[in-house]
Amino acid sequence: MIPQLVRLTALFIALAAPLAAQKPTVPDRGDAILKSIDAKAARWTGVEQQIWGFAEVGFQEVKSSALTAQELRDAGFTVKANVAGMPTALIAEYGSGKPVIAIIGEYDALPGLSQKVLPVHDPIVENAPGHGCGHNLLGVGSLAAAVTIKEWMQANRIAGTLRFYGAPAEEGGSGKVYLVRDGYFKDVDAAITWHPEDANRVAGQSSQANVTGKFRFHGISAHAAAAPDRGRSALDGVEIMDVAVNFMREHVPQDTRIHYVITNGGRAPNVVPDFAEVYYYARQNDMKVLDGVWERIVNAAKGAALATGTTVDLEITGSVYNLLLNETLAKLSQKNLERVGGVAYSADERAFAEKLQSSMPPGSIVPLARAAEVLPLSFGGAEAGSTDVSDVSWVVPTVQVSGATWVPGTPAHSWQAVAASGMSIGAKGMLVAAKAMALTAADLFTDPATLAKAKAEMEKRRGPDFVYKTRLGDRAPALDYRK
């Protein structure tokens, strides 16, 4: 009986061996990816610190774009620069065929937010730019994820195309809109990106669509005291337009946002200004509603010109959709972000954070422990603020995560955000996001069913008759909008 049992066991093993040999090996898309990012943490921190120091505004990110491109070339990507009429835009690629997975980065700074790495307000150069939205971290976190996944694909012979988009001028220049409009996303199966924040989370809320533009009034100069009747003030046109729009605020939907700055109001009080300019942003959760609001703003400008005997012209500098959510990708990214976990502060970082929080209004203070947490996925609704990632989301299934790069309670576009973006707190949050994005990319390269589900969801949410069209039309990028 025992010899027969031995023979049967041997036969079973012999039959099972070919089946085991045929079973596909599932590449390790977990520990190896996380360890790779940790092993190169110093490298990525060094790159983002350089870009933090460059602090270049939209469409002027010459050094930041060049450094990013060089890192990608060194990592084995094929890099194409000066894309879609934008000298600082780049697309890097590795691999071939399907699926095509995109990872998106940015690197533009904001005007007037220069700040030292200190928990007290102290500009490096007064009124110079600073990374108040953390795009030094955004671009490099995405770069780290892309390089890590490229190495993982190579090591495990993963089929498909990995593409990195270096997108300039997110802050008002709508860089990604030109990339979408000109077809650079047409073959992409899924897009992954992230954004610096004061918490670790996956974006489950939409954003606001926006339109931005510069209204330029032209008048007649004259001596303001000796011959005011012979002048026509372009500044009067701007001011009357602003008054009309401010009265209009009462009569627009509650979730509408309108903001402006006078970028040129003349040169001397005793000269009637023959030129003045005002720069407007209008935001709304619904692009169709926004179109109506923007038309009324334009009419206010025309009325102001008529009232003051001036003329006015308009340059549209940017326009973006609201974010089209994708719950399929959001749930996948949430799983990966929870695996990575949050940010642990050292004693020095905690001291820095506590000092920084003392500069914030009392009602905005958030416990520092939130940086160590991953917030639960909350899906639906809309947040204030706009992003040109939204246009990508209407043509490609898209997901966005956030890492706690700022001290909890920190508002974006503040000197406090610049300070944290330039120190180890920012770098730690960047690495959290890089890991979550890399894990999500690996999942998508090996799970065609999830890609198909995400695409079907996108098509259902945008509707059967949707055709992408931007208010920017066929205009060239506004390369000098920050000058």
Q: What is the C-alpha to C-alpha distance for residues 286 and 282, in angstroms, rounded to an integer?
A: 12
Query: What's at 427, amino acid-wise?
Result: A
Q: Please report the pLDDT score of residue 2 as a whole number.
A: 42
Residue identified by tokens 């905005």 is 364
Classified as helix, coil or strand, 345 is coil
**Is beta strand 398-404 parallel, antiparallel or unpaired with respect to 190-197?**
parallel
17 has a pLDDT exceeding 80: no
Q: Please report the pLDDT score of residue 29 as a whole number.
A: 58
Q: Do domains 31-206+322-462 and 209-319 have the same CATH topology?
A: no
Q: What is the C-alpha to C-alpha distance for residues 245 and 130, in angstroms, rounded to an integer?
A: 30
Q: Which fold does the domain 31-206+322-462 belong to in CATH?
A: Aminopeptidase (3.40.630)
Question: Based on the number of CB atoms within 10 Å of its own CB, is 410 exposed (0-12), middle (13-18) or buried (19 or more)?
Answer: buried
Q: Please report the pLDDT score of residue 195 as a whole number.
A: 98
Opening angle at CA 193, ends 189 and 197, nearest 5: 160
Overall average pLDDT of the 97-102 stretch: 98
pTM: predicted TM-score of the whole model, two decimal places: 0.88
Q: What is the C-alpha to C-alpha distance for residues 234 and 275, in angstroms, rounded to an integer?
A: 5
Beta-carbon contacts of 332 under 8 Å, excluding residues fewer than 6 positions away, are 399, 440, 443, 444, 450
80 neighbors 113 (Cβ within 8 angstroms): no
15 has a pLDDT exceeding 80: no
Cα distances (Å, whole numbers) of residue 307 to 105, 219, 244, 300, 311:
45, 12, 12, 10, 10
98 neighbors 44 (Cβ within 8 angstroms): no
Query: What's the mean per-residue pLDDT of the chain?
Result: 93
Share of the chain above pLDDT 70, in %: 94
Beta-carbon contacts of 109 under 8 Å, excluding residues fewer than 6 positions away, are 54, 55, 56, 57, 61, 129, 130, 131, 132, 133, 135, 136
CA 371 to chain centre: 20
Q: Please report the pLDDT score of residue 402 as a whole number.
A: 97
- Ordered alpha helix ranges (H), 310-447: 327-340, 347-357, 389-393, 415-421, 424-445
Q: 11: pLDDT confidence band, cut at 50, 70 and 90?
A: very low
Q: Please report the pLDDT score of residue 466 as a whole number.
A: 94
Query: Could you read off the pLDDT of 385-407 as tens digits, one per residue?
Result: 899 999 999 999 999 999 999 99
Q: What is the C-alpha to C-alpha distance for residues 266 and 108, in angstroms, rounded to an integer?
A: 29
Beta-carbon contacts of 9 under 8 Å, excluding residues fewer than 6 positions away, are none
480 neighbors 277 (Cβ within 8 angstroms): no
Domain limits of the chain? 31-206+322-462, 209-319
CB count, 10 Å around CB of 226? 9
Q: What is the C-alpha to C-alpha distance for residues 402 and 405, in angstroms, rounded to an integer?
A: 8
Q: Please report the pLDDT score of residue 384 as a whole number.
A: 84
10 has a pLDDT exceeding 70: no
Q: What is the C-alpha to C-alpha distance for residues 340 and 327, in angstroms, rounded to an integer?
A: 20
291 neighbors 255 (Cβ within 8 angstroms): no
Classified as helix, coil or strand, 159 is coil
Overall average pLDDT of the 97-118 stretch: 98
Query: Could you read off the pLDDT of 434-451 as tens digits, one per residue?
Result: 999 999 999 999 999 999
14 has a pLDDT exceeding 70: no
Q: 84: pLDDT confidence band, cut at 50, 70 and 90?
A: very high
Overall average pLDDT of the 193-198 stretch: 98
Q: Which fold does the domain 209-319 belong to in CATH?
A: Alpha-Beta Plaits (3.30.70)
Q: What is the C-alpha to C-alpha distance for residues 196 and 429, in angstroms, rounded to an integer?
A: 8
Q: 28: pLDDT confidence band, cut at 50, 70 and 90?
A: low
